[in-house]
């Protein structure tokens, strides 16, 4: 039998992680974040808020943000008729009635928690069920002789009349004395809960379920466990107290781990945990299983990959048998629940199909969750259901991507740009719109500038509206914000008054442009020394014209765009070049005017040549 080790990493303040290894292979894994309050198993004082006759359920306020859902089937057995068809929830519960409830399913997404009025308290060997005075034995204890012996032992226990007892699987091999200790421990807890419930006035928490470490020792401790290693001293001491009280015979396996390495790293567990979050899991022979979680179900696909065999049937059988083992393990590790569809590789022989089904069922027996497993149908698909024990690891450790919104796919830049343009076009047709201010990602803004400038220009002319596009580096590709400024003027703007440059650009000046500008600024001062009023007026007019041309692209200096360098220039560059050429032409004309003026002055001041 493989050696079993339980590793408890509780040294981090933010989370507690517990891994169970069988022969060095990860068998079970659980994690609990300190800031994520777990409420499953907690007991609350609740008040009935609403009774829904169509659902035959009640909604109760138990002190949390969302109301709890209490179905008829979860009312105490001692108040419900033996014939479920005769009992109606509206006859058993009234609005504002107070009731003790226990959370049996965590809040998940938009769904509130499911609660039950059938209270159950779990110990190491027994589960007590107040209000349901029926004794039972775990279905996983299959031997008829063992079941008879447990029934005899339970009959000897001093159980109150209104309480039932269920024998747990961990009871195999224990004594009558162990049973009695566990029963007294659970009855003491129940009496304390009743006392707190009677004193509490408002709906709220009455009793909190044990934390992850104690629950693991109580519910998941295997008899053949060789070591339980805990890397936090305080957690180790709490576990020590619990084991002394409930299973003192196993106390020697509990150890405080002290080492330079993290306890998970010491036993090469971190790498195995990372694989849990992957979508694809490789099989020993080269095949793989692919797991996808959706809102409706969990889909698992089996692929042969590089698996080889004598023929296709043998390859399919070999891959499917390996997949059945790994699927049972992944369901347990990831706590995948609800409807599960497994698409095995098609097989023709009935014996092979039955072998794969048996392989899956055998390995699912190690799982604590309740399950119903179907058969492989003619399409090669097996449908099964699994009870949720805890929130799945994907739900605990992951959140939806802000870009793809959890789909795993994003639209292309071209598709996003066209979608944005259609919104701009729709907004431009509104009669009251005088200006549209659009913010989008830089990539989409530049793409729209390159491909849709003419179309936006036509929209401005057609609908007499100014359109401004402001790219923003901080936005995602799909982000789009449109502001519409309403036209408060009585008269409509003329075509000439519109600025038909849809993307306002302030291009950076090149070194050559800066040099020309410096020369143009310095020359007028020298020319004013050599020219009269007429020359100064001409230069002033030239400067005014230059500033007018530059203002076409400097009208709004707050809205700038970083132009990405590429082999293909952006559409706005031809306009910038045109402006630069106009400025250079004006500078050359001013230069020529200065030269002519200097020559005329020189001629006037030249002295006469003596004869």
DSSP labels for 60-82? EE-SSSSPEEEEGGGS-TTTS-S
Asked if 63 and 202 touch (Cβ cutoff 8 Å), the reply is: yes
**Residue 212 forms part of a structural domain:** no
Query: For residue 483, what are the contacts with CB-CB under 8 A and spacing of at least 6?
Result: 436, 437, 438
The three-state secondary structure class of 579 is: helix
The dihedrals phi and psi of 119, each to the nearest 5 degrees, come to -75, 140
Give the model confidence (pLDDT) of 107-153 as tens digits. 877 778 999 999 999 999 999 999 888 899 998 888 888 899 999 99
CA angle 416/419/420 to nearest 5° reads 85
The predicted structure's pLDDT at residue 99: 94
The predicted structure's pLDDT at residue 14: 85
Q: In what order do the strands lie in the sheet with 466-472?
A: 466-472, 433-441, 480-486
Clarify whether residues 385 and 303 are in a common domain. Answer: yes
Clarify whether residues 312 and 374 are in a common domain. Answer: yes
Clarify whether residues 259 and 362 are in a common domain. Answer: no
**Residue 386 forms part of a structural domain:** yes
Clarify whether residues 555 and 475 are in a common domain. Answer: no
Query: For residue 109, what are the contacts with CB-CB under 8 A and spacing of at least 6?
Result: none
Residue where one domain finishes, among candidates 266, 293, 327: 266
Clarify whether residues 231 and 260 are in a common domain. Answer: yes
The three-state secondary structure class of 295 is: coil
Clarify whether residues 362 and 308 are in a common domain. Answer: yes
The predicted structure's pLDDT at residue 94: 92
Q: Which residues of the chain have pLDDT under 50?
A: 490-518, 520-531, 549-576, 599, 601-611
The three-state secondary structure class of 213 is: helix
Residue 481 structural domain: 413-497
**Residue 537 forms part of a structural domain:** yes
Clarify whether residues 476 and 522 are in a common domain. Answer: no
The predicted structure's pLDDT at residue 506: 36
**Residue 260 forms part of a structural domain:** yes
CA distances from 283 to 102, 304, 311, 321, 341 (A): 41, 9, 19, 10, 19
Positive or negative torsion for Cα 527, 528, 531, 533:
positive
**Residue 554 forms part of a structural domain:** yes
Clarify whether residues 549 and 517 are in a common domain. Answer: yes
CATH number, position 457:
3.40.1260.20
**Residue 87 forms part of a structural domain:** no
The predicted structure's pLDDT at residue 1: 57
What total number of domains does the chain contain? 4
The predicted structure's pLDDT at residue 257: 93
């Amino acid at each position: 039998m493989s050696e079993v080790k339980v590793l408890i990493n509780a040294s981090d303040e933010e989370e507690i992680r517990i891994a169970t290894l069988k022969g060095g292979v990860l068998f079970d894994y659980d994690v609990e974040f300190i800031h994520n309050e777990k409420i499953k198993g907690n007991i609350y004082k609740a008040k009935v808020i609403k009774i829904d006759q169509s659902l035959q359920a009640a909604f109760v306020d138990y002190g949390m943000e969302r109301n709890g859902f209490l179905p008829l089937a979860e009312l105490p057995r001692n108040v419900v008729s033996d014939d479920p068809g005769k009992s109606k929830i509206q006859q058993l519960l009234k609005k504002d009635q107070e009731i003790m409830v226990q959370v049996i399913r965590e809040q998940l997404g938009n769904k509130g928690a499911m609660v039950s009025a059938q209270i159950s308290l779990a110990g190491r060997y027994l589960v007590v069920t107040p209000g349901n005075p029926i004794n039972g034995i775990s279905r996983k204890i299959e031997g008829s002789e063992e079941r008879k012996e447990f029934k005899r032992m339970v009959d000897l226990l001093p159980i109150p009349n209104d309480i039932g007892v269920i024998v747990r699987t961990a009871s195999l091999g224990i004594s009558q004395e162990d049973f009695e200790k566990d029963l007294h421990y659970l009855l003491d807890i129940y009496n304390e809960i009743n006392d707190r419930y009677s004193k509490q006035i408002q709906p709220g928490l009455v009793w909190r379920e044990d934390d992850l470490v104690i629950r693991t020792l109580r519910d998941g401790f295997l008899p053949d466990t060789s070591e339980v290693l805990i890397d936090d001293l305080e957690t180790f001491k709490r576990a020590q107290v619990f084991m002394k009280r409930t299973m003192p015979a196993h106390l020697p396996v509990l150890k405080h781990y002290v080492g330079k390495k993290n306890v998970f790293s010491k036993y090469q567990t971190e790498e195995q945990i990372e694989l849990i979050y992957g979508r694809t899991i490789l099989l020993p022979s080269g095949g793989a299983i692919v797991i996808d979680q959706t809102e409706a179900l969990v889909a698992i696909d089996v692929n042969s990959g590089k698996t080889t065999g004598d023929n296709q049937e043998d390859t399919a059988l070999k891959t499917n048998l390996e997949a059945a083992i790994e699927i049972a393990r992944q369901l347990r590790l990831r706590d995948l629940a609800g409807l599960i569809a497994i698409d095995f590789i098609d097989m023709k022989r009935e014996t092979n199909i039955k072998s794969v089904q048996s392989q899956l069922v055998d390995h699912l027996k190690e799982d604590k969750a309740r399950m119903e497993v179907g058969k492989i149908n003619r399409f090669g698909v097996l449908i099964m259901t699994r009870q949720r024990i805890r929130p799945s690891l994907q739900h605990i450790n992951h959140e939806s991507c802000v870009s793809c919104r959890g789909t795993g796919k994003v639209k292309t830049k071209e598709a996003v740009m066209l979608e944005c343009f259609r919104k701009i076009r729709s907004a431009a047709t509104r009669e009251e719109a005088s200006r549209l201010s659009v913010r989008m990602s830089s990539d989409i803004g530049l793409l729209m500038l390159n491909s849709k400038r003419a179309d936006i220009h036509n929209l401005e002319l057609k609908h007499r509206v100014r359109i401004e596009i402001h790219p923003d580096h901080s936005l995602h590709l799909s982000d789009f914000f449109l502001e519409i400024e309403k036209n408060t003027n009585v008269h409509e703007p003329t075509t000439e008054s519109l600025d038909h440059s849809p993307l306002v650009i302030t291009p950076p000046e090149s070194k050559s442009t800066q040099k020309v500008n410096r020369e143009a600024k310095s020359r007028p001062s020298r020319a004013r020394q050599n020219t009269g009023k007429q020359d100064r007026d001409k230069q002033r007019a030239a400067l005014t014209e230059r500033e007018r041309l530059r203002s076409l692209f400097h009208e709004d200096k707050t809205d700038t765009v970083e132009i990405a360098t590429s082999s293909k220039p952006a559409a706005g560059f031809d306009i910038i070049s045109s402006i630069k050429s106009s400025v250079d032409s004006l500078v050359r004309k001013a230069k020529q005017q200065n030269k002519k003026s200097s020559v005329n002055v020189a001629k006037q001041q030249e002295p006469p040549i003596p004869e």
